[in-house]
Amino acid sequence: RFQIQRGKTDPTSYKSLGDCFRTIFQREGLLGFYKGILPPVLAETPKRAVKFFTFEQYKKLLGYVSLPPGLAFAVAGLGSGLTEAVVVNPFEVVKVTLQTNQNTFTEQPSSFVQAQQIIKTGGLGFQGLNKGLTATLGRHGVFNMVYFGFYFNVKNILPVNKDPNLEFLRKFGIGLVSGTIASIINIPFDVAKSRIQGPQPVPGEIKYRTCFKTMATVYKEEG
Looking at residues 40-48, what average pLDDT do you find?
87
pLDDT reported for residue 28:
84
- Which pLDDT band, with edges at 50, 70 and 90, does 147 fall under? very high
223 has pLDDT over 80: yes
Smallest CA-to-CA distance from 94 within 25, 138, 43 is with 43
Look at the domain 35-222 and name its fold: Mitochondrial carrier fold (1.50.40)
- Give 162's DSSP letter: S
Among 81, 23, 15, which residue's Cα sits nearest to residue 48? 81
> What is the pLDDT confidence band of residue 106, given thresholds at 50, 70 and 90?
confident
pLDDT exceeds cutoff 80 at 172: yes
Confidence of residue 19 (pLDDT cuts 50, 70, 90): confident
pLDDT of the residue at 37: 87
What DSSP assignment string belongs to 69-125?
A: HHHHHHHHHHHHHHHHHHHHHHHHHHHHHHHT--S-TTTSPPHHHHHHHHHHHH-SS
Sequence spans of domains, the chain: 35-222
- In angstroms and rounded to an integer, the radius of gyration of the C-alpha atoms of the chain is 20
> Would you tell me how many other CB atoms lie within 10 Å of the CB of residue 160?
10
Using 50, 70 and 90 to split pLDDT, how confident is the model at 12? low
